[in-house]
Each structure stands twice: as structure tokens, then as C-alpha cells.
């Protein structure tokens, strides 16, 4: 699995002044997946200073929308991200 982090586009609001949230693209299969299985890229936004992230989604637009809505239940504590990523992979595999 490969993760590529880039700064948020200018049209997406920051979480707080001085914070640097990033758009993260995850490519490839996690450990334990069958070799050669097709796994589409998925996206989330995270801020290490706020310790918040969005639930990963295969659509970059959905990930960006989730970030712009602060009361959205799809914003989770950063330490919940591995479980959310596993849930996305389970849905993709099904």
C-alpha cells in the first residue's frame, strides 16, 4: 500500500489558522490481501495538529466534501483511521 499526501487545494478551507491538513491518496492493497487483487485508490483528508481525518472514500470529491462539513459524522479521530480504512477495503472486496 502506498500513500501520497499533498497540501489541500486553495478552495478547501483549513481547519484552523496555521494548520496544514493534507489530502491523502492511498493506492494498492493492504497487507493480507490476495496478491494481484484490484483495489481502487481511495482518499481522505487529515490534520495531524487537530488529530482529525475524514473517513476514506474512493471519490476525492466526497473526501473533500466531508472535510468542509465540520459536524459531519464522517470526520473521525486520526487514530480511528486504520479501522475506517479496513472497512473501506472490506466493502471494496465484497
Average pLDDT of span 32-49? 82
C-alpha cell at 9: 487545494
Averaged pLDDT for residues 31-60 = 86
Average the pLDDT over 13-24 and give the result.
91
Task: Tell me the pTM.
Answer: 0.87
The mean pLDDT of 41-55, rounded to a whole number, is 94
Q: Provide the pLDDT for residue 90.
A: 80
Q: How far is CA 83 from CA 12, 37, 79, 86, 89, in A?
A: 25, 20, 9, 5, 10
Measured CA to CA, the distance from residue 66 to residue 5 in angstroms comes to: 17
Q: What is the mean pLDDT of the chain?
A: 88
19 grid coordinates:
494548520
* The pLDDT value given to residue 45: 96
What is d(CA 88, CA 1) in angstroms, rounded to the nearest whole number? 14
Residues 6+ apart with CB under 8 A from 60: 23, 25, 43
pLDDT at 31: 67
As a whole number of Å, the CA-based R_g of the chain is: 13
Amino acid at each position: 500500500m502506498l500513500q501520497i499526501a499533498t497540501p489541500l487545494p486553495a478552495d478547501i478551507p483549513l481547519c484552523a489558522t496555521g494548520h496544514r491538513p493534507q489530502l491523502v491518496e492511498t493506492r494498492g492493497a493492504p497487507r493480507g490481501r490476495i496478491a494481484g487483487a484490484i483495489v481502487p485508490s481511495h482518499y481522505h483528508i487529515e490534520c495531524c495538529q487537530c488529530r482529525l481525518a475524514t473517513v476514506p472514500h474512493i471519490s476525492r470529491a466526497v473526501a473533500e466534501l466531508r472535510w468542509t462539513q465540520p459536524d459531519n459524522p464522517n470526520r473521525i479521530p486520526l487514530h480511528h483511521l486504520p479501522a475506517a480504512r479496513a472497512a473501506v477495503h472490506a466493502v471494496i472486496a465484497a
